[in-house]
Structure 1
Amino acid sequence: MRNQRFFHCPKCGGKLNYQQVAEKQRLVCSNCSYIFYENPIVGVAAIVMNNGKILLGKRSSTTAYPGLWCIPCGYVEYEEDVYDAVRREFREETGLTIEVERVFTALSNFHNPNVHTVGIWFVAHVTGGTLLAGDDISEVGYFELEQLPPLAFPTDRQVIELLKNESKGFN
């Protein structure tokens, strides 16, 4: 069984316990029978290419996976549109403003057993700003797809492999 992350019912404050519900273990309140659905957290990332190189950020010492690199990313805030979220996160981490062109892919992230996230990677291009590391990133740079620094997330490796295999190129 997985680690329990939630212990109290958001409706009445009663104790949550795992029980079999519709062929799945779910948290159920022992007081009011409320079923608490553990939903994944949504993350967004922007793929920005320049002359065949991908923009990556080095994760700062205050984040998970410090010193490793990633496609600039972050979490979607409650009541925030995913397109607004990717523009905000990219600006916070790189100093650049972007225009989103399209969704590239969406993947489930299972690398952290304590947190299940679903990531949405967007293809985007820079429309303004000055490249400067910020927020959770200590350094930014463009890298050849075949010469990448150590990456923080297995899903970023998957995305980069998809980029390599995509028939139409980016600039």
Structure 2
Amino acid sequence: MSTKEVHVAVGVVINNGQIFLTKRLDNVHQGGKWEFPGGKVEHGESVYGALYRELQEEIAIDTLSCIPLIKISHDYGDKCVLLDVYIVNNYQGEPQAQEGQEEGWYALEELQALDFPKANDAIVEAVISWFKENRVE
């Protein structure tokens, strides 16, 4: 590992068979790439607590419940991340990017054409599998 691992809570926000994504601002790590919303788990905070807080801050929704999807550890060389990923299909509010970034709802078949950070490749595959297993359309 190149540096200390950053623990991140990630939400795959779904509605009517679509997934809500935001685009990372150009001036941040992996800037200009699409991502599933979420953020850093703070010291002493649970992953669910971090997910709830980050989704409130980033996209203005209240997570009512979520389903664990996958955990991914990835080393970018300049940064290591541990992604704790959850399907968020029970929430209040309408997701809307709060930090000036692009946003959008995407169909499952559109995901593989988007430019994600490398660590997100496994998330995309897990989301596709989850949709198929749960017959989400």
Matched, 1:151 2:115: yes
2:39 to 74, 78, 81: 74
2:92 equivalent in structure 1: 128
Cα shift at 1:126: 4.4
Per the normalisation by structure 2, the TM-score is 0.84
Cα shift at 1:131: 2.7
Cα shift at 1:123: 1.3
**Separation (CA, whole Å) in 2 of partners of 1:146 and 1:107:** 22
Matched, 1:47 2:47: no
Q: Secondary structure at the match of 1:85?
A: helix
Matched, 1:92 2:57: yes
- Give 1 or 2 for the bigger CA radius of gyration: 1
**Separation (CA, whole Å) in 1 of partners of 2:114 and 2:136:** 22
**Separation (CA, whole Å) in 2 of partners of 1:95 and 1:127:** 10
What's the C-alpha RMSD, in Å, of the aligned pairs? 2.1
- Contact 1:59–1:65 (CA<8 Å) still a contact in 2? yes
Q: Which runs of 4+ in 1 moved over 6 A?
A: none
Matched, 1:119 2:77: no
- Contact 1:94–1:140 (CA<8 Å) still a contact in 2? no
Amino acid across the alignment from 1:169? R
Give unpaired runs (5+ residues) of structure 2. Answer: none
- Deviation track 1:56-88 (CA, whole Å, cap 9, x = no partner) reads 111123322222110102110111111010111
Higher RCO (CA < 8 A, seq sep 6+): 2
Matched, 1:106 2:86: no
Larger fraction in helix: 2
Amino acid across the alignment from 2:123? V
1:139 to 79, 102, 105: 102
**Separation (CA, whole Å) in 2 of partners of 1:64 and 1:54:** 22
- Deviation track 1:11-49 (CA, whole Å, cap 9, x = no partner) reads xxxxxxxxxxxxxxxxxxxxxxxxxxxx52211101111
